[in-house]
Structure 1
């Protein structure tokens, strides 16, 4: 085009006018390009409705694939300079939410379906999900989907949280709005939408599972988790910040470790459970935040284990020889033990810990969550429990090794960082935000996750969720034995 214009100039116009026209032409070309860019950005902003989140989504998409994880140092690389302001009115927002729920899911607000506000969350429908829903007949199951499957018969306790409902709720919920901006880039976000949905409906306990995991225990097994006490075993003299629970659930305590367990700690004998070091008794349920059940057959171990250890898949056994007893293993205070999103119970004191980070690899997002949330649980006296197999995994994961490389590279530094991290903040909500900001500054997560946790905490607060309080101090006994000696050894 430019050549054609120059020829026309040469044939028609005198030399004195050529320079002027060229200048004007270039000016108009630059101006029109600027208008296109400006209007395009304005259009994006109007569509996304959140300039901060949309900018971060674009930045993350363009940089995440180019960054070599082997260059990760675990040192501070940036500062957080963003303000978060939420001007929502508590009562007005609550009224809008309640009206929306009454309109979209009236029968799930009926106690005849969810008798005690127990919910389960899963992404996408499958036959395993249907069988799980049948076993949890008094629970509500929310399935996050794009569209409800056609020509299927489901139980009345199943609710499909489809794209239409999600988009409608996004008009009221800033968390939904921000999450949906990122949904196409990271489908783990769909789990977060399901989590908030359960809490909006007053959930007191949430079963977090995957659609290829089928429940193999009865509803009564879950009900024991709601009792005031639970039969449990702990390791009172454990002197490490890491605890590998798997060896205790197999008859032959060979080397066995969960996905996300630091590779450098696998051969450390101090992190292996020895039966003579355990203490049995009754444990107050109020001090338990997470109950992670192990999975039959396709056990949640990392790809390295699957490739080098023969005899996979395998089965776990219960701690107690009595099949009627569901004895749990309690991880000591100030201890990390990875748990996943495939078969985990979140009790009411830890519903705040459901949110999954979205700026890390999808395959390790739940492991990141387990380490970060456990660190925060330390500060409010909550602990993690492990139970025998509640479900069986029907699907074999492939090509995991490449996907786990990045996390394996970072995990030792993450554990070290979380162990050393401390805060004097007396507000638990602010302390959670403080840790996420710090994780962003040190390069473990990106800015989107900081904004999502801020929105998540704010909406839980507006809903009326009661966050745990940070104790002013602990006694020496609490530090050593978690403060529950009064019923211990009464077996």
Structure 2
């Protein structure tokens, strides 16, 4: 394996302010569902007969647990390096390994979050061709110096170290974050979603009988059934999860744009072991409109090729107590709970990227993804029920609820408190993010 593809967590951030339709509106909307007497929503009001865990009781009985105290102290002075602004990329392009990543906007910069087994900064920069001015390389020692409260809760050799990069981007004034893996080549075109281009999209024509939608069939696949990693397996054959769509150009607030990937799309191990792959989607950016996921409807998205806009930044964190094959999917479902409350939209776009997938052991992936197969459907029902009950949970409260139901562990309760306190410190003088 090329040394550049060792455990590093990569994404790029844009610090330029765009006049898009990404309006900042954090007023909580009215409850999105009717009450449980409605036949359409009765299944969403299931009382889950499970043994809830109480995080308070556990903490009371385990005095050795240390919760994050206060907030990070390294927010000013000379204790952190500024992200370079107004970066100029040679000929509008940036090279990663042997693959070319096109940056149409010159204000993009690359943030690399190194883990303890990652190659050195000097070695990394040499392979990148000496473009140090365009890159922020966060070495392991930087994590604790810059954001000690968060770093102290994160395990090493874990995908969750990417959370350091997220908070770094937020701290340094990013307006957009392109979150990607090192084996995905490409970059979404922001101009396609600008208000001045008369942004058009597809959206389901009417209310859905299920609180979920499978986006893959809309973009054309040769298989009879195709689905994204993390979609409930028991619903794959259900026609209710692929409703008819209509065109619209009504204004909306964008939170996340998920670019599909050609060659090696994001599918689970069951798919890879049983169906034809690699494959490309039939849809292209020129031939197919993006798909808007409507309010109160869930679908999984990943941390491999997603553009995050500022209204959604608070919901970026990856859970750290679950497997790496699960963490970005749980993150997506958790975030969508808040998107629906705040009327922030998730968009699926035709492929802007192609994936040259790093080597995987599919049987190990199959085992690691077990929670996705067995628990995604119930997670959607739980989140739908919380919406149906008009519960205005904060991020910490939602994590507490999901800990009670066994979706995350105690480490995540410690982490999310550190995350929220750090974001609060960053936005102490701003109303940009409602906590």
TM-score class normalised by the smaller sequence: 0.7 to 0.9
Describe the shift of the 1:154–1:233 C-alpha distance in structure 2 as closer, same or farther (beyond 3 A).
farther
Q: CA deviation at 1:174?
A: 1.0
Counterpart secondary structure, 1:247? helix
Q: 1:304 aligns with which of 262, 265, 270?
A: 270
Q: 2:229 aligns with which of 250, 256, 259?
A: 259
Q: Is 1:353 matched up with 2:315?
A: yes
Counterpart secondary structure, 2:423? helix
Q: CA deviation at 1:318?
A: 3.1
Describe the shift of the 1:266–1:231 C-alpha distance in structure 2 as closer, same or farther (beyond 3 A).
same
Q: Is 1:235 matched up with 2:198?
A: no
Counterpart secondary structure, 2:152? helix
1:418-444 CA-partner distances (Å, limit 9, x unpaired): 211246665xxx622111101111111
Q: Greater CA deviation, 142-151 or 241-250?
A: 142-151
Counterpart secondary structure, 1:178? coil
Q: Please provide the CA RMSD for this pair.
A: 2.9
Match of 1:476 in 2: none
Q: Is 1:247 matched up with 2:247?
A: no
Match of 1:162 in 2: 139
Counterpart secondary structure, 1:197? helix
Q: Hey, what's the Cα distance between the residues in 1 that align with 2:87 and 2:260?
A: 31
Counterpart secondary structure, 2:353? strand
Q: Is 1:460 matched up with 2:428?
A: no
Counterpart secondary structure, 1:385? strand
Q: CA deviation at 1:126?
A: 5.2
Match of 2:260 in 1: 294
Q: CA deviation at 1:188?
A: 1.1
Task: State the structure with more CA Rg.
Answer: 1
Q: Hey, what's the Cα distance between the residues in 2 that align with 1:419 and 1:244?
A: 17
TM-score scaled by length of structure 2: 0.75
Q: CA deviation at 1:281?
A: 2.0
Where does the alignment leave 5 or more consecutive residues of structure 1 unmatched? 1-72, 115-119, 471-491
Match of 2:111 in 1: 142
CA contact (8 A) 2:258 2:301 kept: yes
Q: Hey, what's the Cα distance between the residues in 2 that align with 1:227 and 1:203?
A: 20
> Using CA pairs below 8 Å that are at least 6 residues apart, which structure has the higher relative contact order?
2
Match of 1:178 in 2: 153
Counterpart secondary structure, 2:303? coil
Match of 2:77 in 1: 99
Q: 1:440 aligns with which of 384, 397, 403?
A: 403
Q: Hey, what's the Cα distance between the residues in 2 that align with 1:165 and 1:450?
A: 23
Describe the shift of the 1:250–1:265 C-alpha distance in structure 2 as closer, same or farther (beyond 3 A).
same
Q: 1:279 aligns with which of 246, 268, 274?
A: 246
Counterpart secondary structure, 1:98? coil
Q: Hey, what's the Cα distance between the residues in 2 that align with 1:346 and 1:195?
A: 10
Match of 2:281 in 1: 316
Q: Hey, what's the Cα distance between the residues in 1 that align with 2:403 and 2:321?
A: 10
Alignment of 1:214-229 (within 5 A): 214-215=185-186, 221-227=189-195
Counterpart secondary structure, 2:420? helix
Alignment of 1:80-119 (within 5 A): 80-81=55-56, 82=59, 86-88=69-71, 93=73, 96-100=74-78, 104-106=80-82, 108-112=83-87
Q: 2:375 aligns with which of 410, 424, 433?
A: 410
Q: Hey, what's the Cα distance between the residues in 1 that align with 2:184 and 2:122?
A: 19
1:297-322 CA-partner distances (Å, limit 9, x unpaired): 01111121222223x211113367x4
TM-score scaled by length of structure 1: 0.67
Q: CA deviation at 1:371?
A: 1.0
Counterpart secondary structure, 2:248? strand
